[in-house]
Amino acid sequence: MDKFRIEKMTLSSLDEVMVIEELAYGQHHWSRDSFAAEIDNQISDYNCAVAQNGQIAGYMGLWKIIDEGHVTNLAIHPDFRRKGAAKVLLLNALDECYREKIKYLTLEVRVSNLGAIKLYESFGFKSLGLRKKYYQNNNEDALIMWSENIFSENYKKRYEEIKEKIGNLILK
C-alpha cells in the first residue's frame, strides 16, 4: 500500500509538478509561472503529496479567502491515481481550514470527471450549481461543489470518519 506525506510546494517541486500538470490536463494546463506566483501568493496554500519513494504523487492548491477555501486545482500522477494521494491532500486541506477557521470549501470539477466528483462527495461536497462552458479546451461545463460548514457537528463527524479511514495512508 502506498503512503504519502504532505510537503509545501516549492520552486524546486515545479519540474515534477509540471509533468503531472501536463499528464492531467494536456496542453491546456497552468504554466510554470502560474504555479511560481501561487507559491508566493499570500492567500494560497499549495501542497504536494510525496510518495514513500520520494516522487511527487500529486498536488493541490487552495485559496483561503476570509472564511472560504477554494480548491484551485488538484492533480495526481497517473501512477498514483486511486491510491489515496488525493484523499491525503484533501484531508490536509481540511486540517488547514480547521486551523485557520475557514468554514466552507468550494471547487469546480468537470461534469465528466465522475471519479473526482465521487471523491469530493465522499468528503461531503455537494453540487450547488453549474458553470456553463467553463473549461476552455472543450467548453465543458463545471459543477460548482461546496462543503457544508466544516465546524458543524455533522461535518466534524464526517471528518473524523475520513481521518480514521485514510489515516493509514499518511506517512508520519
Give the catalytic positions in this structure.
108, 120
**Cα distance between residue 53 and residue 122, in whole Å:** 28
Closest CA to 13 of 64, 57, 44, 53: 57
Cell 480514521 -> residue: 164
Closest CA to 76 of 36, 116, 123: 116
Q: Which secondary structure element, helix H or strand E, spans residue 119, and what is its range? A: helix 114-122
Q: Grid coordinates representing 41?
A: 501568493
